[in-house]
Each structure stands twice: as structure tokens, then as C-alpha cells.
Structure 1
Amino acid sequence: MKLEHVAINVPEPAAMAKWYAEHLGMRIVVQSTESPYMHFIADDAGSMIELYNNPAAELPDYANMSPFNYHAAFSTDNIEAERERLIAAGATAGDITSTPRGDKLLFLRDPWQIPFQFVQRSSPLI
């Protein structure tokens, strides 16, 4: 079985999809101008995130949500440069930390305060 997508209810799916495409290298593969305004974004490997706004469910308080409760992680080869680049693009960022196995981790928040992470692995997990 293969994971098809992960979905997240967000305040502005069209603007978020555009920001993730411009700044995280995602591409918009589906977009809707009708409620719930589904936007599917994908990376080069075909992993997808669905961004939508469904008023049937209350939006989480992402600004006060710990990134340990929810985050999407993106891989990078230069976490320091990505940190500076994303701050310039409107993200907020914490400090870069290292794990005992030598991985570098960085939590950020996009302009809508939704947490995400950059991971620079010392060696691939799979």
C-alpha cells in the first residue's frame, strides 16, 4: 500500500499552496475555486499534501500548537541556508538542533503559523 496524501484544514489554501510551491519546491497538481478550495501540492517524488478550508470543522489554533504535535518535514542538504531563505520569505524559525546520530533538525512556521520542519540527515533513513 502507498500513502496517497496527507490533508490539513487551513485558513487560506490557495495562498498557502502558492507559498509552498514558490518556497518549498512543491508543485500545485490540483486546485479548486469552490469550497472547500482543495489544493493538492506534490514534491518531485509524488508525495502529496492536500490543503483545504472546510468550515464544517473548526480550524486548529496552529499558532499555539507545538510542532511536536504536528509538522510536515522536508529534507535538505543545507539547513542553515534554508533557514535564512525561509525567514526572508515570511517564515519564522527556531534554532537548529542536532540528534545523537548527527541529523540536523529545524522547526519553522509558515506565514499562517502552521509548523513544518527541515531535516538534514547524516545518512538516509531508507
Structure 2
Amino acid sequence: MKIEHFAVNVADPIAMAAWYVTNMGLRVVRKQEGGANTHFLADDSGDVMIEIYNNPPDEVPDYKNMNPLMLHLAFVCENPEQKRAELEAAGASFAEEVHIKDGSHLVMMRDPWGLAIQLCKRGNKMLKFQQ
């Protein structure tokens, strides 16, 4: 089995999709205009996607008040300090920073809607496609 996508119910999928395309390097693979305004966003490998949508009958989680370790999107990032500054300039906020003994550097941020995103520079690379 291979994961196709991970989905989250969000308040404004149109604006959020645009932000992730501009600031996180994702690209829109498919979108539905109207209704839930569903957007499938792929990373640069094309192997990993997230789905963001707004389903009004269901509650949009209070991402801003969730502990970021409950739910976050993690991105491979070779320069977490630089990316943190770029994201803060684009409306994201800093949550925490961790350095692990294996050389990993993890920076937790929140996007402008409060969803936690983690910038991961791993001491020991974990994904096949990483160089």
C-alpha cells in the first residue's frame, strides 16, 4: 500500500491552496470549484499529496489552539532558519525549534490559518527521494 493523500478540513481552502503553492512549493493537481472547494496539492516529487477542503456540516478543527504535535504537516527543508524567516514574512508564525542529537533540526511553525507545519532538516535522511 502507498499513501495517496492526507486530507484536512479548513476554513478557506482557496486562499490556503494559494499560500501553500506560493510559499511551500506545492502545486495544484486537481481542484473543485464551488461546494467544498477541494484542492489536491502535490509536493515536488509528485508522490505525496494533501487535500484541503471546506466541509461546512463538519467542524473545522481549531488548529490554532491544538498542540502542534497533535497534527502537523512536515516538509523536508535544507535551511530551516531561512525558510522560517520567509514564512514569517508571508504570515506564518513560529511555534518551537528542536535540535536532536542525530543532527536533525526541526522548526515548528503555524500557517496563517493556524495549521502546524514542521520544517525538517534530518541528520539521517528518511525518504528515498531525498538527496
TM class by shorter chain equals over 0.9
Q: What does residue 26 of structure 2 align with? A: 26
Pick which of 110-119 and 87-96 moved more. Answer: 87-96
Q: 2:2 and 2:95 mapped to 1: Cα distance?
A: 32
- C-alpha displacement of 1:123: 2.1
* 2:62 paired residue number: 61
How many angstroms does 1:84 deviate by? Answer: 0.5
Q: Please name the residue that 2:119 is paired with.
A: 118
**Structure 1 unaligned residues grouped into runs of 5+:** none
TM-score, length basis structure 2: 0.92
Deviation track 1:65-96 (CA, whole Å, cap 9, x = no partner) reads 01010001001111110111110011001342
Superposed counterparts of 1:2-81, under 5 Å: 2-46=2-46, 47-81=48-82
Cα distance in structure 1, aligned partners of 2:126 and 2:2: 18
CA distance in 2, matches of 1:39, 1:94: 26
State the identity as a percent: 44
> Which position in structure 1 is the counterpart of 2:86?
85
Question: Aligned partners of 1:68, 1:123: CA distance in 2, in Å?
Answer: 21
When the two structures are aligned, how many residues end up with a matched partner? 126
The Cα of 1:43 is off from its aligned counterpart by: 0.6
Runs of 4+ in 1 over 4 A off after TM superposition: none
TM-score between both structures, scaled by the size of structure 1: 0.96
RMSD between aligned residues:
1.0
Give the distance between the partners of 2:44 and 2:109, measured in 1 at CA: 22
**In structure 2, C-alpha distance between the alignment counterparts of 1:53 and 1:25, rounded to whole Å:** 22
- 3-state SS in 2 of match to 1:96: strand
Q: Deviation at 1:110?
A: 0.5
Aligned letter for 2:19?
W
**How far has the Cα of 1:35 moved from its partner?**
1.0
Shift of 1:26: 0.2
